[in-house]
Structure 1
Amino acid sequence: MRHTVAAWGLFAALGLAVLPVSAQYNFHFGRNKIQYENFDWNVLKTEHFDVYFYPEMQELAEHGAAFAEEAYAELQNRFNFSVTRRVPIVFYSSNLHFKQTNIFDGFIPDGVGGFYEFLKGRVVIPANGNLHRFRRVVRHEMVHVFTMHKLARVYRDYRIPIDRYLPLWFTEGIAEYWSGPQDYQHEMIMRDAVYSNYLVPLENIYRIRGTYVMYKEGEALCRYIAETYGEDKLLQLIEDAWINRDFRKVMEHTLQESLSDIASGWQEWLRETYYTRLDAAESPTLITEGISVRGFNSKPVFYQMQDGQRRILFTGNHGGYSNVFYVDVDSMYVPLDKPRVLIRGERNNQFESFHLLESRMGVSKDGRLAFVTKSGETDVIHTYDLESGKNGRMYGFDEIIALYSPTWSPDGSRIAFVAIDESGFIDLYVYDTEYDRLERLTDDSYDERDPAWSPDGRFLVFSSDRTSKGFDDAYNLFTYELETGAIDYVTFGTQHDFSPNWSPDGNQIIYTSTRKDSTGRYGAQDIYVIDAALRPPVIASTGLGTREGEGPEPSVRWKKRLTQLTTAAYDPVWTRDGQMVFSTFENYRFTVRSLGGLDTLLNQPVSERPEYLAEASGETWEFPRIDADTATDRLRYRRRYGLDIAQGQISSSAVWGTSGAAVLAFSDLMGNDRFFVTLYSTSQYTGDFLRGLNVNISRIHLNRRANFGYGVYRYGGLRYDLTDPDAPTEFPRFWEEVWGGFGAVSYPLSMFRRVEVATSLSWDDKQIPQRRIDRQALLLTNQISLVHDNALFGANGPMVGWRGRISAAYTTDLLYSNVNYITLEADFRHYLRLSRRVTFASRALGRMNHGREARLWFMGGSWDLRGYPLFDVRGKKAWFTSHELRFPLLDNPSVYVPPLAIIGVVNLRGALFFDAAHAWNDKYDQRIYQIYAGETLGAAGFGFRLNLFGGLVLRYDLGYRFRDEFKSRDPSLFRQFFFGFDF
């Protein structure tokens, strides 16, 4: 779980400005989701959609609008249904712009291609340079639109409450299936799942909910249903969803078979589909040397140090932060030690995040490593001197948003890369580091990937869909001649050719390729080598040099297939001493491996048909567009507000009487401008309604880097407040009426650090008859905080990193000086990862309120000082420390006890803990027994943490309490049950 500080975090800060200590436990931390750009939104109205875009990406939006209408026409027939309301579609030109959206409050990782938001029916999609992928994602989200609208219609027709949801595997599976033919990534995942035996049966598919494997298994299930029972059964499953809340029963009713028969039939269908291809395939584990096989590893590069040491570098994630790693290897490329971290990522703004699966690294001859990270609003290229171990220069460009795959020229003066500008299209660039000059080599709508510089510096080889087969989503290799700007084919066909690299002598090019077989499915992604230069064909006995009915071609490129793997190879590198280093995907893991004997493989007889480049045509292709300039309904974006949340409750108590409350939230379509309204009454009888009416109205603006909000409030009636110093200690209940206004600003310095400023001005009338207090004050509160958070979350709480918050506030009575106090607070939490699943967590906290009518802090309970009654330890000043050793007890308990899956049990973890605290008022050792003030308290013991549904953590602690500066210990164990994530 990862927290963001957006609307809800700022809303809490506004509440904090009103009641400075009302949020001791919540909303203190969280990373920042930063809005760097203030987009100038336009609206293109098509027949069925309102398409939102900014002018810089107009051409992409025109393509997207055409894709949406194209999908609508097809899905209208598939679903036998029309969506009767206009659908809003919001386009972003790149993933980095997409990450800034406020339509979704959480963080968006690199791999997310878009989403359909159910609340207001909004579709949000980034383009990211690839029109084929863009079109497929638009179609995917359109399937979601039709599915949800069709399902709502079915429920209305049968008068079923709209509180039933189709399982995620089905909604995502049918969206993938109906968005287009299975792609090579689908085939790679499913082939590996079958071969490596991690395929999850249909009966247990809920166990992988939300994972990438679930998407692909869901797609395979939908394809199986369509091929076995008929395409119409997929629609019928939606139409029959009203029959039973359990979708498994719906499947049995619709498909007229038991769930076990459906599941076993699917498994048999998968075995028949994939096992037949295993005859000549080889497992990467069996034929290669593992260099880094733990965790996630990708994009390897090779460098030989000046002392002769061979070094493999790669990006990876070994269960925590993403980093650049290195491994030293011997002459046979056997690792000399385990992987070590070279560059630490995801901890500060400089190396905010790596594009792990998208961007290669490059190494110059003199040992300068070039790699890309997100740094603030754009990507930048970093350099690192491998010989000295020091960071080098950083290169960023105003006109470029996203960067990928930098490669050094042979003389080390220039860097080539591909990049996306605000238009959303990706092109080839070269940057001259000596003269600080950026040159754009291509400027078109085609996709370019993974450039590599030839050893003589004359050419760049790259992968692109600019081939005449590109309309069918083919990728071929091309060379770009730097002197003339000429672009020539290296490979040609309907396959996917990626990740080219030159041999050290420049005569050959190594690359990966995946091709469709006779069934139309993509096979394994293998490594090939091809001649870098055209040459006359050799008429071999195999006949590979000629085609039937024709004489020899005037020129061809000979190619050889070097591997025949079960799954996939990525990013091959040809080292100086004739070895091959690459990454593989196997057993749902990316590993870095080496393959020796390259000379032997290259000397084998040619077994592949050569590339007949005479077949390659200069034909261009393009997707359809809806011209926004000539459209009659192109408008500027105007804010219109809709209801997001409406929730209410009513309660009755012998002490508090009957009370009710309601919460309303409104926002505009972009989620940038939000209103929150809270109403509740503490009246005890009808005539007292207005006096006990409480109202809070606030507005929050999120469209700029500095998020700010303001509002007004009125609180009145009986109040229970543990923090008020004048209230009775045992039962702090009194009457108070407060009128006021407030404002707050949250300014992110980076993704990991921010400054918060809040202020409030209020009229406060407090009456405590038991103590004969009738106090009035005009209160002004100002607060400033500095927050840092780079912690990574696991299922139950933070695992690694640290969090800190320092706050200072001043509250004063402007009229009567009845109130005048300062507030200081410091809270630091550190998480040391001892192993992949074991964390040692430490927390140190100090708080102080000092002055006239200074409020009390409170502790006690499972969230801080365990073993003591909830919130019963109180004082104007306090310190607290806690230390925990967190470790697993049982992962996936439902595997051992299947009924636990019904109640959503995710994991069971344990914790050894030690807590210590001290709260006091005026004197450190002045005892106030009712609130445990004036003495050092402690607790030590063992805790259980049970995660339900991935979001609710139940806590059960048992141990011993310590009193009187740890001089005494309670004789009996305490037992405490509560809920909440670990600190």
Structure 2
Amino acid sequence: MNKRYPFCIKLPFVLWLLAAALLFAPQAKAQYFGQNKVRYKKLDFKIYKTPHFEIYYYIKNDSMMKRFAQESELWYTLHQQVFRDTFSKPNPIILYANHPEFQQTTAIDGEISVGTGGITEGLKNRVVMPVMETNQTTRHVLGHELVHAFQYHMLLGRDSSNFENIGNIPLWMVEGMAEYLSIGKKDAYTAMWIRDAYLNHDIPTVEALTNGNKYFPYRYGEAFWSFLGSTYGDTVIVPFFKNTARFGLQYGIRRTFGYDDKTLSRLWKNSIENTYKAYLKDTVQKPVGLKVIDDKIGGDMTVAPSVSPDGKYISFLSSKNLFSIDLYLSDARTGRIITRLTSKTANSHVDEFNFIESAGAWSPDSKKFAYSVFAKGRNRMLVVSVPDGKVLNDISMGKAEQFSNLTWSPDGKNVAFQALSEGQSDLYMYNFDTKKVTQLTNDKYSDYQPMFSRDGKKIVFSTDRATYDQVLSQEITFNLAEVDIATGAITNINVFNHANNLNPLYSADGTQIYFLSNRDGFRNMYRYTIASGKVEQMTDLFTGICGITEFSPALSISANDDVVYSYYRSQKYTVYNAKASEFTPVVVDGGKTDFTVAMLPPTRAVGVDLINSNLNNYLAYPKLSTDSIHCVGYKPKFKLDALASNGVGAQIGTYGTGLSSGIMGVFSDILGRNQIYASASVNGEVYDFGAQGVYINQEGRWNWGFGLSHIPYQFGNYNVTPTTIQVDGKPVNVIDEHTDIIRIFQDAVQGFMQYPISKQLRYEIGASAARNSFRIDRYSNYFEPRTDADGNTYYVPIQFRKHKISREQYRDETGYDYRPFSVYTVGTSLTGDDSYFGIAAPLGGYRFKIGADYNFGTYKYYSPNIDLRGYVRTKPVTFAARLYGTGRFGDNNNNLYPLSVGYPWLVRGFDLYSLNSSSTSTTSLWNSNQLSGQRIAVANFEIRLPFTGPEKLAALPSKFLFSDLNLFFDAGLAWNSGDKITLFKTQPEVLSTSTVTDPNTGEPVTLYNLSRVPSLSVGLSLRVNLFGALILEPFYAFPINRKDVKKPVFGFNFTPGW
């Protein structure tokens, strides 16, 4: 009797590392595919210390930085009165000079979008934000993010709540509170959204706010908090927030207000209806002109419309293709899209369009269009020809690293724009002939949305120079002004003081200025006559003319007085085109404003009005003395960010006592430039302890790091053999039923460097050294054979023994020689990724990786690899293709475990275990040898249909099931050096035969030397995205050249779509 039963590989530590991979997710993403966060320059940070903050900055503008530090303390004073909480130690604020540099931050992992104003993270409670394009927006973002800092501090501090309680709080509560506490009850922009909800009978309930994504949490959340503060007093805010964190939203409402969410929803709805019904009947609601671009033409988001000087074209930015913002050209009269002028796909060097609060500019002859993009760590100006979209110029604006809202001079020689430099917003001008940038204004005030006069001698713009530091309120409003280009003299236009007067444009004859204002709480278009000072109201809309934000351009005028504007209705932006003569102007008093309608419902506040009182007296609070602001050198403050455990367990069994425990930790400095990811685990005996750690340095353009690891792998064999042992000094013949546990210990060190060439392209090099050693432990149960009275044999256990056996003994017994070996590897690769992901797989763009490794040590070989992937989106499907190949070339590589195409992530329908592995039978020439070799090549093609999921993308809308339906064709080939390959055969050829003797039976056996043919399959699969945690792909595959199966092969794949 001598039986061997190898059992399944047991890899407890490897399974633990799969969990640890979640911790390493930001780095793991970049190791194979994924786009890059490029740091184009090294920033020299310093620290401003105030009583409650440490402000990390590098901006060379001391006066601006001191104002920022003072405002941080002002916001602390205001928020502290609401939260009744204090910071026990200074809270970090990391401030960037502009948004392009903010997008490169290492403090926050992952991509930062153009629309992100700031981020407050919970691990270190860091506020990370850029200086915004206006003083008002910077003040607001700072106040907003510091609300989040107080929220985290309250939930993670001395309170009984903890980090897990944050999950109980819906997003509208978190973001809405931050908006309400930093803006207050007076908000004409949010009031416009709520009027729109009232007009469309679409006022959301608490449940709809919480469970859907239809209602923007910032705007509707702010309005709901304002309702609560006005109805119950601002003292209810913190108790409601805490109760929700502790008990969930439903119990939080009952505990705070004494009734359920439905009652609270009805009260809010009644408040809105009672507020706005008096205004609706007297308001002209129909927009003037032709509706030229709506959601059917331009998609859900159509912004920044700009009419050409000749009035023939309208350019606009749109999310029409769902996955990116692109620039389109349409007919100004019909709205028909003529062409897509440009896109990120067509211009891979463009990271993103500057679309939130910016519009482009037409050349005077209507043949060129200029616009601002994010590229190479800054804003750049692209000039394209119309209508073919050919890029004519790609221009950097010197020290103006962030700029927007371009305007082209009438002579075509200059482009003016607003820009940020060292945290200061000013007007600049670029000359196409001299290629020089000239600064037109230079002061602490924000200058915004410039436009050249028709004679090119002046520029009209919006500015806060009449209100900044002049009023007590936290709100910094915008007036109009003109600057004389030749002299630099600035003239303020005294109209609608303390309202936001934006988007100024000269009329065709240059005698009048059109602009948008919220002077009466609504958002309408007005006209100012320069000579007389007369002000006329051109529209009277219940909602308003607006873009994505209050500061987004929404108005454009041609040289023929064609007025193009963006009308907000039903949560959508619709573009209208009208002649100036079509409007019915009404003369209004330019010195009168009334913001009653700008107050969020209800109009009257009951109870303690703490927040609005404080905001209205923002500058009445004493400013922090500059003597209390201290500048110190940067210190990294390297510390533990997060620690996680999978628990501790113990067990006692046949094979002894074992422990099971694991821990993961993340360490970093305050800026996130230096990071350590570490994990450790023990699963079984002390030999099963494993650990790994990775250090990553992201300080400069090069990312580099190194890792150390000790990882145990474990598998085993079960055997039954006769043997003789000593019992009480006497030899006894026994049956040895034993289990051999083989442990592989891999001790490795690796180093890596990565140079991101652009957001889409990077170069990587790496080296590693690994030593693999073995330990074999035998667990023996000895049974003595005995005979009963009837002559039957039975076995009695007489002894159990655990002992370590040597490599030599195991080799002699089994023929397997577990000799220690070392592997040293150096490698390099070039990786590109300009794809966009859909529900469960990429749906557009491309990916590639081309690289090579050299392995030496015990085994020496070269291993080139290539992976090319392309995706062509043709609604509603995507055509996807992949070519992949790798191999081993060199000495003794045949001693290594072969490569295989028999995995479902390569070729579906050819599972290794479903095939006949014997090459001694002619009943099926197709066997597992066809799938394995030292070289492999794979080709895949899929037609991908977003099947269930978001309504705008999937064939079947679903809020719960997110999936892709795929038709696929897979082909894979594996071979060794010297093998004959027949690509166009469905079955392998018999090249030669040989006869050997079976050692077990003594019978002759015929062996067949076969050619190599591709493994081909077609089929259908469904990739299901399980809440972002796992992608599961069940599939039916039809193996084309397998003769051993008559039905489709069903299987599962657990990897995201390639």
Q: 1:275 to 1:755 in 2, by over 3 A?
A: farther
Q: 2:26·2:110 contact (CA, 8 Å) conserved in 1?
A: no
1:548 corresponds in structure 2 to none
Q: 1:8 to 1:584 in 2, by over 3 A?
A: farther
1:880 corresponds in structure 2 to 938
Instruction: For 1:160 and 1:324, locate their aligned partners in 2 and report how far apart those are by CA, in whole Å.
Output: 42
Q: 2:97·2:423 contact (CA, 8 Å) conserved in 1?
A: yes
Q: 2:195·2:542 contact (CA, 8 Å) conserved in 1?
A: no
1:670 corresponds in structure 2 to 671
Query: For 1:516-566, what per-residue CA distance to the aligned partner results, in whole angstroms no more than 9, with x for missing partners?
Result: 4xxxxx32x2222221x223xxxxxxxxxxxxxxxxxxxx33333245353
Number of equivalences: 887
Q: Which moved more, 1:771-780 or 1:786-795?
A: 771-780
- SS of residue matched to 2:393: strand
Q: 1:751 to 1:529 in 2, by over 3 A?
A: same
Q: 2:328·2:340 contact (CA, 8 Å) conserved in 1?
A: yes
Q: 1:223 Cα deviation (Å)?
A: 1.5
Q: 1:200 Cα deviation (Å)?
A: 3.9
Q: 1:88 to 1:283 in 2, by over 3 A?
A: same
2:69 corresponds in structure 1 to 65
Q: 1:880 to 1:584 in 2, by over 3 A?
A: farther
Q: 1:251 Cα deviation (Å)?
A: 0.7
**In structure 1, what residue type is equivalent to 2:420?**
I
**In structure 1, what residue type is equivalent to 2:90?**
R
Instruction: For 2:375 and 2:620, locate their aligned partners in 1 and report how far apart those are by CA, in whole Å.
Output: 33
- SS of residue matched to 1:64: helix
- Percentage of identical aligned residues: 24
- SS of residue matched to 1:134: helix
Specify which of 625, 633, 637 is matched with residue 636 of structure 1: 633
2:536 corresponds in structure 1 to 559
Asked if 1:850 corresponds to 2:830, the answer is no
Specify which of 34, 39, 47 is matched with residue 43 of structure 1: 47
Mapping of residues 243-392 of structure 1, within 5 Å: 244=247, 246-281=248-283, 287-291=289-293, 293=295, 294-295=298-299, 296-303=301-308, 310-318=312-320, 319-329=322-332, 333-335=333-335, 337-345=336-344, 348=347, 350-366=349-365, 367-386=367-386, 390-392=390-392
- SS of residue matched to 2:753: strand
- SS of residue matched to 1:145: helix
**In structure 2, what residue type is equivalent to 1:820?**
K
Q: Which moved more, 1:226-235 or 1:383-392?
A: 383-392
CA RMSD after TM alignment: 3.7
Instruction: For 2:451 and 2:654, locate their aligned partners in 1 and report how far apart those are by CA, in whole Å.
Output: 77
**In structure 2, what residue type is equivalent to 1:971?**
K
Instruction: For 2:571 and 2:655, locate their aligned partners in 1 and report how far apart those are by CA, in whole Å.
Output: 58
Q: 1:706 to 1:48 in 2, by over 3 A?
A: same
Instruction: For 1:948 and 1:715, locate their aligned partners in 2 and report how far apart those are by CA, in whole Å.
Output: 30
Mapping of residues 23-42 of structure 1, within 5 Å: 27-42=31-46
- SS of residue matched to 1:905: coil
**In structure 1, what residue type is equivalent to 2:229?**
A
**In structure 2, what residue type is equivalent to 1:108?**
I
Instruction: For 1:605 and 1:321, locate their aligned partners in 2 and report how far apart those are by CA, in whole Å.
Output: 39
Structure (1 or 2) with the larger CA radius of gyration: 2
2:196 corresponds in structure 1 to 192
Mapping of residues 544-693 of structure 1, within 5 Å: 556-564=533-541, 566-569=543-546, 570-596=553-579, 598-601=580-583, 604=584, 606-610=586-590, 630-631=627-628, 633-649=630-646, 660-681=661-682, 685-686=685-686, 689=687, 692-693=688-689
Instruction: For 1:946 and 1:195, locate their aligned partners in 2 and report how far apart those are by CA, in whole Å.
Output: 39
Q: 2:827·2:852 contact (CA, 8 Å) conserved in 1?
A: yes
Query: For 1:927-962, what per-residue CA distance to the aligned partner results, in whole angstroms no more than 9, with x for missing partners?
Result: 999xx995533443333344444x235535242330
Instruction: For 1:150 and 1:850, locate their aligned partners in 2 and report how far apart those are by CA, in whole Å.
Output: 60
**In structure 1, what residue type is equivalent to 2:230?**
E
Q: 1:685 to 1:958 in 2, by over 3 A?
A: closer
Q: 1:42 Cα deviation (Å)?
A: 1.3
Q: 1:716·1:737 contact (CA, 8 Å) conserved in 2?
A: yes
Instruction: For 2:629 and 2:660, locate their aligned partners in 1 and report how far apart those are by CA, in whole Å.
Output: 53
Q: 1:30 Cα deviation (Å)?
A: 0.6
Q: 1:474 to 1:655 in 2, by over 3 A?
A: farther
- SS of residue matched to 2:635: coil
- SS of residue matched to 1:709: strand
Q: 1:103 Cα deviation (Å)?
A: 1.5
Specify which of 170, 175, 179 is matched with residue 176 of structure 1: 179
2:761 corresponds in structure 1 to 753
Q: 1:787 Cα deviation (Å)?
A: 0.9
Instruction: For 1:654 and 1:913, locate their aligned partners in 2 and report how far apart those are by CA, in whole Å.
Output: 48
- SS of residue matched to 2:183: coil
**In structure 1, what residue type is equivalent to 2:401?**
I
Instruction: For 2:117 and 2:382, locate their aligned partners in 1 and report how far apart those are by CA, in whole Å.
Output: 26
Q: 1:196 Cα deviation (Å)?
A: 4.1
Q: 1:134 Cα deviation (Å)?
A: 1.7
Q: 1:194 to 1:32 in 2, by over 3 A?
A: farther
Specify which of 840, 849, 857 is matched with residue 879 of structure 2: 840
1:917 corresponds in structure 2 to 972
Q: 1:704 to 1:822 in 2, by over 3 A?
A: same
**In structure 2, what residue type is equivalent to 1:567?**
G
TM-score, reference length from structure 2: 0.77
Q: Which moved more, 1:390-399 or 1:862-871?
A: 862-871
Query: For 1:650-672, what per-residue CA distance to the aligned partner results, in whole angstroms no more than 9, with x for missing partners?
Result: 68899997654433221111111
- SS of residue matched to 2:211: helix
Instruction: For 1:197 and 1:643, locate their aligned partners in 2 and report how far apart those are by CA, in whole Å.
Output: 50
Q: 1:462 Cα deviation (Å)?
A: 0.7
1:823 corresponds in structure 2 to 863
**In structure 2, what residue type is equivalent to 1:584?**
Y
Instruction: For 2:259 and 2:592, locate their aligned partners in 1 and report how far apart those are by CA, in whole Å.
Output: 51
Q: 2:361·2:369 contact (CA, 8 Å) conserved in 1?
A: yes
Query: For 1:843-881, what per-residue CA distance to the aligned partner results, in whole angstroms no more than 9, with x for missing partners?
Result: 222222233235544455654433454999654322223
TM-score, reference length from structure 1: 0.82
Instruction: For 2:740 and 2:31, locate their aligned partners in 1 and report how far apart those are by CA, in whole Å.
Output: 25
Q: 2:287·2:567 contact (CA, 8 Å) conserved in 1?
A: no
Query: For 1:19-64, what per-residue CA distance to the aligned partner results, in whole angstroms no more than 9, with x for missing partners?
Result: xxxxxxx942111101123221112221111121114244343223
Instruction: For 1:585 and 1:402, locate their aligned partners in 2 and report how far apart those are by CA, in whole Å.
Output: 28
**In structure 2, what residue type is equivalent to 1:260?**
K
Q: 2:155·2:166 contact (CA, 8 Å) conserved in 1?
A: no
**In structure 1, what residue type is equivalent to 2:696?**
I
Specify which of 91, 97, 106 is matched with residue 95 of structure 2: 91
Specify which of 137, 143, 162 is matched with residue 139 of structure 1: 143
Query: For 1:285-325, what per-residue CA distance to the aligned partner results, in whole angstroms no more than 9, with x for missing partners?
Result: 785322354222222333367xxx92222222212332221
- SS of residue matched to 1:696: strand
Name structure 2 gaps, 5 residues minimum.
1-20, 547-552, 594-617, 717-738, 775-806, 915-930, 952-956, 982-987, 991-1006
- SS of residue matched to 1:850: coil
Q: Which moved more, 1:461-470 or 1:356-365?
A: 461-470
Asked if 1:415 corresponds to 2:415, the answer is yes
**In structure 1, what residue type is equivalent to 2:414?**
R
Instruction: For 1:141 and 1:159, locate their aligned partners in 2 and report how far apart those are by CA, in whole Å.
Output: 20
**In structure 2, what residue type is equivalent to 1:646?**
L
Q: Which moved more, 1:882-891 or 1:378-387?
A: 882-891
1:742 corresponds in structure 2 to 750
Q: 1:116·1:145 contact (CA, 8 Å) conserved in 2?
A: yes
Q: 1:439 to 1:871 in 2, by over 3 A?
A: farther
**In structure 1, what residue type is equivalent to 2:305?**
P
Mapping of residues 403-442 of structure 1, within 5 Å: 403-421=403-421, 423-442=422-441
Query: For 1:886-933, what per-residue CA distance to the aligned partner results, in whole angstroms no more than 9, with x for missing partners?
Result: 33444469xxxxxx99xx82535433333332334443668999xx99
Q: 1:802 to 1:612 in 2, by over 3 A?
A: same
Q: 1:502 Cα deviation (Å)?
A: 1.5
Q: 1:789 Cα deviation (Å)?
A: 0.9
Q: 1:581·1:594 contact (CA, 8 Å) conserved in 2?
A: yes
